[in-house]
Amino acid sequence: MPAAHTALIIGGGIAGPVAATALTMAGIDATIYEARPADPASASGIGGSLALEPNGLSALRIVGADHAVRDAAIPITRSIMSIASKPGREVPAPQGLEPRQLIDRGALHRILRDRAEHVGVRIQHGKKLIRVDEAPDGVTAHFADGSRASADVLVGADGVHSIVRRLIDSNAPSARYLGLLGFEGLADDAADTAALEPGTMTFAFGRRAYYLYWKRPDGRIGWGANLPSSPYLRLKEARAVPADQWLHTLRAAYTDDVPGARLAAETKSETLQAVGALHIMPPVPHWHRGRMVLVGDAVHAPSNSTGQGASLAMESAIQLARCMRDLPDVPSAFDAYERLRRPRVETIAARGAKIGRAKAPGPIAQRMMRLLLPVMFKTMNLEKTMAVEQRYTIDWDSPVEHELNAEISGETVS
Ligand SMILES: Cc1cc2nc3c(=O)[nH]c(=O)nc-3n(C[C@H](O)[C@H](O)[C@H](O)COP(=O)(O)OP(=O)(O)OC[C@H]3O[C@@H](n4cnc5c(N)ncnc54)[C@H](O)[C@@H]3O)c2cc1C
Cis, peptide link before residue 231, omega less than 30° from 0: no
Cα 288–chain centre separation: 21
Q: What is the pLDDT of residue 107?
A: 95
Q: Of all atoms in ligand 1, which is nearest to the CA of residue 224?
A: 1
Q: What are the φ/ψ torsions at residue 243 (nearest 5 degrees)?
A: -60, -35
Task: Look at residues 97, 115, 13, 99 and name the one whose alpha carbon lies nearest to residue 60.
Answer: 115
Cα 376–chain centre separation: 26
Distance 209 CA to ligand 1 centre (A): 23
Helix/strand/coil for 402: helix
Query: Is 268 within 8 Å of 246 (Cβ atoms)?
Result: no
Q: What is the pLDDT of residue 359?
A: 57
Q: What is the pLDDT of residue 413?
A: 45
Q: What tens digit of pLDDT does each residue of 365-382 get?
A: 676 776 677 667 677 777
Query: What lines the ligand 1 site, CB under 6 Å?
Result: 10-16, 33-36, 48, 50-51, 127-129, 157-159, 163, 182, 275-276, 278, 296-298, 301, 304, 307-311, 313
Query: Is 141 within 8 Å of 10 (Cβ atoms)?
Result: yes
All residue ranges of the chain with pLDDT < 70 are: 39-45, 190-192, 356-363, 365, 367, 370-371, 374-375, 377, 409-414
Helix/strand/coil for 49: strand
Q: What is the pLDDT of residue 188?
A: 87
Q: What is the pLDDT of residue 370?
A: 67
Q: What are the φ/ψ torsions at residue 133 (nearest 5 degrees)?
A: -100, 135
Q: Of all atoms in ligand 1, which is nearest to the CA of residue 309?
A: 19
Q: What is the pLDDT of residue 414?
A: 43
Query: Is 17 within 8 Å of 68 (Cβ atoms)?
Result: no
